[in-house]
């Protein structure tokens, strides 16, 4: 995983975990990689992964079953969407709107590139 220097690594790992959930590669009630496994996989310190899992527990996306590991909650998909929407609205939408305003891009001009993006990247993942 390539990390962005402008954002905390634990938050980027949280996005990575959320992507797996939303794309269906990790299923509801499934055991997810242990702190150590994910740290090795992503080549980060286990404390960083633990911080990620703590955040995801607070957001009710994962639950720690003591002695067994971390699992996705029954409503992990809903909680991920709630968390990611809030993050998107707070962090990403303002600069996006600023750019479309400054560049005088109409919403109609965005439709075709958006549809092409969905087709190219997600046509096999979502209906």
Domains of the chain (ranges, CATH numbers)? 1-127 (1.10.10.10)
* Reported pTM: 0.78
Q: Quickly state the pLDDT bin for 127 (edges 50, 70, 90).
A: very low
Cα dihedral sign, 7-16-96-89: negative
Rounded CA separation 81/21 (Å):
10
If you write DSSP's letter for every residue of 54-106 in order, what string do you get? HHHHHTTSEEEETTTEEEE-TTHHHHHHHHHHHHIIIIIHHHHHHHHHHTT--
- For the chain, give the percent of residues with pLDDT over 70: 97
Q: How do residues 14-57 score in pLDDT, each as one tens digit?
A: 999 999 999 999 998 889 999 999 999 999 999 999 999 999 99
The 8-class DSSP code of residue 24 comes to T
């Amino acid at each position: 995983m390539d990390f962005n220097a402008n954002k905390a690594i634990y938050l980027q790992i949280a996005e990575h975990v959320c992507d797996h959930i939303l794309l269906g590669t990790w299923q509801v009630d499934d055991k997810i990689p242990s702190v150590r496994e994910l740290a090795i996989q992503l080549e980060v310190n286990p404390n960083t992964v633990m911080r990620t899992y703590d955040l995801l527990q607070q957001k009710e996306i994962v639950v720690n079953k003591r002695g067994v590991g971390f699992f996705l909650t029954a409503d992990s998909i809903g909680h991920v969407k709630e968390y990611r929407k809030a993050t998107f609205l707070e962090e990403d939408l303002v600069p996006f709107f600023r750019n479309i305003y400054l560049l005088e891009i109409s919403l109609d001009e965005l439709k075709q590139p958006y549809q092409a993006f969905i087709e190219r990247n997600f046509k096999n993942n979502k209906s």
